[in-house]
Every structure is written in C-alpha cells, then in structure tokens.
Structure 1
Amino acid sequence: MRCPGVLVLAVLLLAGCTADPAPPTPTMSTPVPAAEGCPAGTTLRNELCLADGAVAEALSDIVHAQFADAQLNAVVAGVWHDGEPVLVGALGESMTGVPATADMHHLLGNLSTPMFTTVVLQQVEAGALSLDDPLSTWFPDLPAADQVTIDMLLHHTSGYRHYTEIPAFLDRLWADPFQHWEIQDLVDIGVAGGPVFTPGTDWLFSDTNTLILQEVIEEVTGRPAGELLKEDIFDVLGMADSTAAFDANWPSPVLHGYSDERGVWEDVTHWSPTWTYTAGGVGADQEDVRVFLDALGEGSLLSPELHALQFAPSTAGLGPWTDEQYWAMGFLQLDGWVFLNPGLSGYYGAGGTIPEEGWTMVVYTTASETGDQSQPTATDIFRQFTAVVTPEHSLAR
C-alpha cells in the first residue's frame, strides 16, 4: 500500500511505501470537456483552456497522453508564466457523471508544508523564537530535546522518524480513517525510540518534524496553527479558497479521490485530515496553490534575509543533497525549481515554481480502479512539463 502523505520523488526518490497494484482491466475513464469560462488570455481547445502558441499545445498533449496512458480518473493541471495562464483545466471525473474542473478543492498533502514553515519563519522574524532554540525550551521530555533545534526540524535533520511509515500508525489509520487524531499521539509515534542518527549529522524526511513545529508555534503564540495559516498566509495573499480547519469539510466543488489501500475500492475524500495537520492537511484549489507558490518564490511573506535563509542550501552534503538539489526549509530545490510532490491516499500532486524563469505549475491526479495506483502520475506530468517550459532546467532527465 501507499504511505499517506509521503513525499514521493521520481527525480530523487526519498521515501515510498507501495505494493504491486491489481492487474488493470480494459476499461478507463473518459475525458470530460472542460467547463466554459476560461481565464483571460486562454481559449477552450481540446478540452483545456490554453493560451496561443506551441508551448500550450505541447503541455496539452502531455496532459492528454498521461490521462489516457495512466488510466486516470481525473487530472487537474495549471501552468502559468509571469502570473498569466498558459494551460488551465481538468480532464475526467470527480465522481461518476460529475466532471472534474479546475476550481475543485482537495487535500494538498505536503504542499501544505511550506505554507506552515513560512508561518514558523514569520514567528522567528517577530522574535517569538530563534532557529537555534533547542526543543527542550518547550518540550523537555521529548527524546533528544536538548540536541534538536528549530532549524533541524525545519531542515529535517533531527533524526526523528517519518511517522506515516510506521506500522503502529498505519494499522490505526486503516482501522478507522475517520477518527480524530490528537497531534501529540502522532508525535509520540514518530519520536518513539529517539532519533535514528545524531541530530544535525544527516537528513531524513519526516512529517514528525512539522508536527513538532506546530506544537512549538502553538505554545509560543497561544494560537491554533490553522488560525495562523489563515490570517498570516491565506488572508494576506487573498487565498479565499484555502482552508486549514483540518476537518475534511472542503468547500464545493470538491475533487474526489479513491483508493483500495484498505482492500476495497472506496471514496477517501472525507477521511479525517487530523492524521497530518500542518504537514499535509490544508485544502485548496489549484489557483490558491499557484498564488502561494508565486509568493514563496518571490519572498513576499518574509524579509529578504529570512527569504534567503529559507532557500539556502543548508542540507547540501547531507543524505543525497548537493548545492543544486537539496531540501530547503519546507520544500525541495531541484536545479532551480521549488518543488514538492505529495503522494497520499486518493491523490498524487506536484507543484513548483522557478522564480528566475517566471514559471509556476500545479498538477493533481486521481486514480481509477483500473490504473496503477502506485505510480506518481502528477510528478510524471510535472517533469514532462519542465522539459517544455524550461529545457535547461528540465527535471525529466
């Protein structure tokens, strides 16, 4: 089965939890025409809203080919250059007889992470805490709390394990995916046994880090993390279609996701997102994700000093990372691309921006029962997109 919320890299594989899918049957989803009302500068062509020119046509061909070849239930994709749409639209269905549309809301998975880590850095900027503060300042009873710093949590160098890959967590999740999780229960699972290496000496992706940061920020500010995200990120950027309520009550229209991870093909859309909180539990539509990624790349939410620190290659030399490909504070830097590609129950996603070139792209896919649910299809589309829009920074190599 696939581990929910795991960051699945096809460029540099970090983590995975998959099993062989069931053999495909001959049927597949049928493309559904895009809704009328394309954004300014685009027209409806071949079921997607496209700008004029060969680039938009090439991107459209990629979406259609992957939709058919991977037997997807739906794909929602957007590509923008300097804030202007080049391709926006959706193929397939959200539910039987309900076309997928570009404005549909859904769980973001790890594309939530840089939103919250930006909130953390805003609190650093406000003087509420320091990157060098040890975790023991607030939670002295956690393993290695006197060694692990805020900076290590942001850079995933604490050594705490990724709780969504731990059988004790997965067994409880699959037994009742609608249950409400207390964040401390998730942290306890992730820190059990202590760090797997001396903090600061290696790199390991782990959502446990993000949940500990959430506990720290809520302790420091006395405010819920969802409230901070809304007021300091969503409201500031005008992201009216984003929610961090962590209750799965996504605004309509909703992109439904499906999975057979519990042994039956089922709709997973409204499973409780409290198993992930700020590590993946934000919901939004693709336009709001685009708005955030643009702001992240531009540094408009932080001072120039902290923006530079957020993007610095601090993890180069640890794990698989180099000066060109590394984990920054909440996201990957891959040959100029700010990039994240979550894989979670029912959905695959890929989103990124390359500020120097002005491109921002967001892709989410949902699987059909006949497709290969283990394949990170959104990443496949994103990588092919990069070869079209920035061949010199292609991630398809």
Structure 2
Amino acid sequence: MGRCRPSRGRRVRRAGVPAGVALLLAALCAGTGPAAVREDFDPATVQKLDAAITDIMKQTGMPGLDIGLWMPGRGVYEKSFGIADKRTGTPMKSDLYSRIGSVTKTFTVTGVLQLVDQGKVGLDDPISRYVSGVPGGNSITLRQLAQMRSGLFDYTTDKAWLAGLRADPHRTYTPRRLVDVAFRHPPNFRPGAKWQYSNTNTVLLGMLVEKVSGQSLADYLREHVFAPLKLDDTSLPGDGALPDPHAHGYTDFTPEGTVADATNWNPSWAWAAGGIVSDLDDLHSWAPALADGRLLTRTTQAERLRTLPVGAIPGASYGLGILDFNGWLGHNGELPGYETIAAQLPAEKATLVVLINSDIDHRGKNLSSMIGNAVTSIVTPGHLWPAPVSTEAEAE
C-alpha cells in the first residue's frame, strides 16, 4: 500500500548519543552540525529508538534516513542516520529534499476537496463530467476515485508499460498517456464493490483539478495548499531535477534488478499520484494539517475521514486520499529511490515522519514500514504502524 513505485511483478538537529549505542551509531548515524536542539524523550526511550533504527539499517543495508517523532508531553526525536550519497559519503541531514511518492495523494485529494468546499464539484459527481474517455465513467464518482474503490485498472501494473519505464526512466509522460494505458484494460470490478489501490484514480483527480481550476496541478497546489501552510520546500516539479540539497535515492527497479541511482529519474509517470518533492520540516507541518483538516470545512473533513477497511492489513482503513493505520492518519509513499511516511496520531497529538533514500525491499519487506512498525512498537504500542508483509513469494 502507498506505492507509487511501479509493481515489481528542516533543519539539522542532533543531540548526544546514549553510551550503549555510541559505537554502533558511529558507523551508521551522521552528525548534522554543531547546533543542537533538545531531545527530550527520556534516555531509555531514545536508546531503544536508536538501537531499533540502527539494527534495521544493518539488516537491510539501507543507505540513510531522516526521522522525526514529535509527541507533546513526551518529547522530540529527530535524527538523521547514514549517508545521502554513496559516491561521496555525504551524510544524511534533515534539511535535504526527498521524493515523497504516494504521500502526494494526500495533497492532490486535498485540492479536490477544496473544490468541493467551493461548490465547483461534488463528491458524488461522475468523473465523466470532467474527464472524457473513462470506461464506465458515468458510474464512477469522485468519492470512489479518492477512496480507491473505482475498479479502474492501475496503469503501473501494465507489463508492457513497466518494461518501457524500466528501459528508460527519464522519459516524460503526460497524464492522458498514463490513463490511456489503464483504459486499455477492462475495469477490475464494479465501482464501489471493494477497495483496490490504483494510481489511475489519483491521476484522474489531478486532471479534474486542472480542468475545474484552470491551473496546472503544480500551480494549484502551490497556491492553495502549500502556500497557506508555508510549505516553502514542497513542490510538484515538471521534470526529473531535484532541488539542492537533496538525498540521492537508490533502487533496484532496473531491467536486470541491479542497484541504480534514481535521483534524477523523471517522476512524471507518477504526477498527481506520487510526484511531489518535500522535506522533513514541511512534512512535520503537513501531517497534522492533513489530519485536522485546517484547509477544509468541517463537513468535508468529516467526509474525508469516513474510512472503510482495506481488508488486506489488520487495523488499516482508507478514506478520501488518507490512510488510517491503527489511529495514525496520513499516508506512506514509495517510488524508485525513496520511501516516506507522514502521519499524525490525533489520540496523542503525535506526528511521525520518515524519509528513506532507498526503496529496495529487505526479503520482500518494505523499508519504511519496518521503521514505522519498530518506532511505534516502542512509543505507541497501542497504535502500531502495521508490520510489513513479505512479498518475496509473489516476487519469485
């Protein structure tokens, strides 16, 4: 879940390191400068978190990560581990830009919901009213698209398209070209019948935003979503260039399965479903704003948070472009070279952000989910980020 990766088939802050893990961290944990901000989780919790993260990094060979955990009344845990560039050995730092994959969906759907609040569209409008050529589009609503219940085929699982992307990850795709790949396949099920993750849904919603607003999606989000929250380091680029400074991203999504630097691969194929660039600081601001709906009316936010079970993962449900993982509201994301978690736990007013510069699964397990599960097992055992499910059997 949360993958914009095609199917396989802000600032620098550091504090002292507990003595028990100092030697281990020397190899994996990068310092981020002389200025330090207090780290006020109790020392025992900090030691557990340090040890859990460094252990997963050793197991998986993960190059680096930024993590922020903010829990009012309990403390702040914000650190950078490992390296941002294998070639130079440059350490990870919390002000580096990163691709956030499917966390992009939370922004795109917020844009749609703002148009709902303005009376320009309705959640139960058919997508055919705004985008032509959608198979069964008269029966597929904007709500079903945002809920991942449209039944439309996910273009990122088309085998011929995947082969083309692997062969040339720098090519540029238009949104219409993407959905046309999906439309060559019959729908997987009747609209509303069940939940199935499909990037096609969010690309269609991005096309709707452009049609109704008269702006490009990048301009609309900058003006109506990023700017009101002062997310100055968040953008939807029009090409493969990452702003500086950035973390290099490493992937095995290559024709031979070898590891490649995917930093400047063109994410136009992910666009509204996964193309946004951001950083730790901005996602720290975004996660609570997403969960409390401050850019939306109360009525529309309530609609967003009417989640339905996804079935495959215990404790997981999905609303309108938002996940509920055992009380954590937000999204995870993955595309070649990068993995992300940005979530808020309203029950404890806690925010969790994880940025990893690799999407290379460990024994079929997703890296960010491994980190998310380990961290929440320590700090919020009653609200776990789901443990990753191995996909090795399917991959083989």
Partner of 1:356: 347
Asked if residue 122 in structure 1 is aligned to residue 114 in structure 2, the reply is yes
Structure 2 unpaired stretches of 5+ = 10-25, 388-396
Question: Aligned partners of 2:115, 2:386: CA distance in 1, in Å?
Answer: 37
17 and 266 in structure 1: CA distance in 2 versus 1, 3 angstrom threshold: closer
Partner of 2:272: 278
Instruction: Report if aligned partners of 2:108, 2:221 keep a CA contact under 8 Å in 1.
Output: yes
Q: Which amino acid aligns with 1:188?
A: D
Question: Aligned partners of 1:38, 1:330: CA distance in 2, in Å?
Answer: 37
Partner of 2:235: 243
Tell me how far 1:245 sits from its aligned partner: 2.0
118 and 337 in structure 1: CA distance in 2 versus 1, 3 angstrom threshold: same
Mapping of 1:1-397 within 5 angstroms?
5-6=4-5, 17=8, 30-37=27-34, 40-42=37-39, 51-82=41-72, 86-95=76-85, 96-262=88-254, 263=256, 264-313=258-307, 315-316=308-309, 319-320=311-312, 325-367=316-358, 372=362, 374-395=364-385
Instruction: Report if aligned partners of 1:347, 1:366 keep a CA contact under 8 Å in 2.
Output: yes
Question: Aligned partners of 2:34, 2:321: CA distance in 1, in Å?
Answer: 35
Tell me how far 1:321 sits from its aligned partner: 7.8
Partner of 2:16: none
Q: Which amino acid aligns with 1:390?
A: T
Instruction: Report if aligned partners of 1:144, 1:194 keep a CA contact under 8 Å in 2.
Output: no
Instruction: Report if aligned partners of 2:179, 2:204 keep a CA contact under 8 Å in 1.
Output: yes
Aligned-pair identity in percent equals 28
What CA RMSD, in Å, does the superposition of the two structures yield over aligned residues?
2.6
Tell me how far 1:293 sits from its aligned partner: 0.5
295 and 4 in structure 1: CA distance in 2 versus 1, 3 angstrom threshold: closer
Question: Aligned partners of 2:74, 2:233: CA distance in 1, in Å?
Answer: 19
Q: Secondary structure at the match of 1:99?
A: coil
Question: Aligned partners of 2:141, 2:163: CA distance in 1, in Å?
Answer: 31
When normalised by structure 1's length, the TM-score is 0.85
Q: Which amino acid aligns with 1:338?
A: L
Question: Aligned partners of 2:73, 2:103: CA distance in 1, in Å?
Answer: 19
Tell me how far 1:125 sits from its aligned partner: 0.3
321 and 311 in structure 1: CA distance in 2 versus 1, 3 angstrom threshold: farther
Q: Which amino acid aligns with 1:377?
A: L
Instruction: Report if aligned partners of 1:39, 1:85 keep a CA contact under 8 Å in 2.
Output: no
Q: Secondary structure at the match of 1:72?
A: coil
Question: Aligned partners of 2:362, 2:134: CA distance in 1, in Å?
Answer: 40
Residues 31-80 of structure 1, C-alpha deviation per residue, up to 9 Å, x if partnerless? 253212556333xxxxxxx6444333322222222122222111211111
Question: Aligned partners of 1:372, 1:242: CA distance in 2, in Å?
Answer: 29
Residues 77-134 of structure 1, C-alpha deviation per residue, up to 9 Å, x if partnerless? 1111139961112111111321111111111001111111111100100011001111
Question: Aligned partners of 1:372, 1:204: CA distance in 2, in Å?
Answer: 24
Structure 1 moving runs of 4+ over 6 Å: none
Q: Which amino acid aligns with 2:377?
A: A
Q: Secondary structure at the match of 1:90?
A: strand
Tell me how far 1:320 sits from its aligned partner: 4.5
Instruction: Report if aligned partners of 2:359, 2:366 keep a CA contact under 8 Å in 1.
Output: no
308 and 83 in structure 1: CA distance in 2 versus 1, 3 angstrom threshold: farther
